[in-house]
Chain A
Amino acid sequence: MYNFEFKQPTTISDAVNLLKSDEAQALGGGQTLIPTMKQRLASPSTLVSLTAISEMKGICKNDDGSISIGGGTTHAEVASHADIFAGLKTLAENIGDAAVRNRGTIGGSLANNDPAACYPAVALSTGATIVTNSREISADDFFQGMFDTALEEGEIIISVRFPVPTSSSYQKFVQPASRFAMVGVFLSKFADETKVAVTGASEGGVFRWSEAEAALNENFSADSINNLSVDQNDMISDIHASKEYRAHLVKIMTQRAIKGAS
Chain B
Amino acid sequence: MPKDSGIGAAIKRREDARFLLGSGRYSDDITLLNQTHAIFVRSEVANGEINSIDTSEAEAMPGVLAVFTGEDFVDVGGNPAGWLINSRNGDPMKEPKRPVLAHGKVRHVGDAYAAVIAETEQQARDAAEKINADIKELPAVIDMASALSGKNFVHDEIGTNQCYDWGWIEDNREATDKAIKNAHHVTTLELVNNRLVPNAMEPRCSIADYNPANDDYTLYTTSQNPHLTRLLISAFVLGIPENKLTVVSPDVGGGFGSKIYHYGEEALVLAAAKRIKRPVRWTATRSESFMSDAHGRDHVTKIELALDKDNNFLAFRTETMANVGAYLSNFSTVTPTILHGTLMAGNYAVPNVYVNVKTVFTNTAPVDAYRGAGRPEATYSLERVIDKAATELGVDPIKLRRQNFIKPDQFPYVTAAGLNYDVGDYDAIMDRLEHHADLKGFAQRRKKSEAAGKLRGLGINSYIEACGIAPSNLIGTLGARVGLYDAATIRVNATGNISVMVGAHSHGQGHETAFPQIVADMLGVDPDNVEIVHGDTSKIPFGMGTYGSRSLAVCGSAIVRGVEKIISKGKKIAAHMMETTDDKVDFEEGVFSVKGTNKTVSFGDVALKAYIPHDFPIEDIEPGLEETAFYDPQNFTYPAGAYACEVEVDPDTGQVTIESFAAADDFGNIINPMIVEGQVHGGLAQGIGQALLEGCTYNEDGQLISASYMDYTMPRAADLPSFIVDHTVQTPSTDNPLGVKGCGEAGAIGSPPTVVNAVVDALRSANHNVTHIDMPLTPERVWAAMNN
List residues of A whose CB falls within 8 A of some B CB. 3, 39-40, 173, 176-178, 239-242, 245, 248-249, 252
Contact = CB atoms under 8 A, between A and B. Distances in A.
A177 B780 contact: no
B653 A177 contact: no
Contact of B706 (A39, A173, A239): A239
Contacts of A240: 711, 778, 780
Nearest to B692: A176
A242 B712 CA distance: 17
Name which of A173, A240, A241 has the most chain B CB atoms within 10 A of its CB: A240
The B contact surface, by secondary structure, is loop
A240 B653 CA distance: 13
Contact of B705 (A3, A239, A241): A239
Given A248-B783, A252-B652, A176 B778 contact: yes
B393 interface: no
Nearest to B699: A239
A93 B174 CA distance: 63
Contacts of A178: 709-711
A245 B710 contact: no
B709 A173 contact: no
Interface string B102-135: 0000000000000000000010010001000000
Contacts of B709: 177-178
A150 to B, nearest CB: 27
Given A252-B652, A252-B653, A176 B783 contact: no
A176 B693 contact: yes
Contacts of B695: 239
Contact of B653 (A39, A173, A239): A173
Nearest to A242: B780
Interface string B410-454: 000000000000000000000000000000000000000000000
A176 B713 contact: yes
A239 B784 contact: no
Contacts of B403: none
B657 interface: no
B5 interface: no
A29 to B, nearest CB: 17
A14 B244 CA distance: 62
Nearest to A246: B780
B652 A177 contact: no
Contacts of B391: none
19 contacts: A40-B125, A40-B129, A173-B653, A173-B779, A176-B693, A177-B693, A177-B709, A177-B710, A177-B711, A177-B713, A178-B711, A239-B706, A239-B711, A240-B711, A241-B780, A245-B780, A245-B783, A245-B784, A252-B653
Name which of B287, B652, B695 has the most chain A CB atoms within 10 A of its CB: B652
Contacts of B778: 176, 240
Contact of A249 (B287, B653, B706, B714): B653
Given A40-B125, A173-B655, A239-B695, 12 more contacts: A40-B129, A173-B653, A176-B713, A177-B693, A177-B711, A178-B709, A178-B711, A239-B697, A245-B779, A245-B780, A248-B783, A249-B653
Contacts of B779: 173, 176, 241, 245
The A contact surface, by secondary structure, is loop
B654 to A, nearest CB: 8
Given A239-B706, A252-B652, A252-B653, A177 B783 contact: no
Given A239-B705, A252-B653, A177 B712 contact: yes
Nearest to A239: B697
A8 to B, nearest CB: 23
A240 B693 CA distance: 10
A39 B129 CA distance: 13
Nearest to A173: B653
The 4 lowest CB-CB distance pairs between A and B, nearest first, are: A177-B713, A176-B713, A178-B710, A245-B780
Nearest to A3: B122
A249 B129 CA distance: 42
A248 B654 CA distance: 11
Nearest to B652: A252
Interface string B648-664: 00001101000000000
Contacts of B705: 239
Interface in B706-729: 706, 709-714
Name which of A176, A177, A252 has the most chain B CB atoms within 10 A of its CB: A176
Interface in B129-158: 129
B63 to A, nearest CB: 14
Contacts of A241: 779-780
Interface in B240-261: none
Nearest to A182: B779
Contacts of A239: 695, 697, 705-706, 711
B380 to A, nearest CB: 21
Nearest to B787: A248
A40 B129 CA distance: 11
Name which of B122, B287, B711 has the most chain A CB atoms within 10 A of its CB: B711
Nearest to B714: A177
Nearest to A252: B652
A97 B709 CA distance: 14
A257 B1 CA distance: 55
A260 to B, nearest CB: 14
Contacts of B714: 177
Contacts of B784: 245
A201 B737 CA distance: 60
Nearest to B708: A177
A40 B125 CA distance: 10
A249 B655 CA distance: 11
A40 B779 CA distance: 34
A245 B129 CA distance: 40
Interface string B458-490: 000000000000000000000000000000000
A173 to B, nearest CB: 7
Nearest to B710: A178
A178 B129 CA distance: 29
Interface in B283-305: 287
Name which of B287, B710, B780 has the most chain A CB atoms within 10 A of its CB: B780
A242 B713 CA distance: 17
Nearest to B653: A252
Nearest to A39: B287
A148 B784 CA distance: 33
B121 to A, nearest CB: 10
Nearest to A251: B652
Contacts of A176: 693, 713, 778-779
Contacts of A249: 653
Interface in B621-657: 652-653, 655
Contacts of A177: 693, 706, 709-714
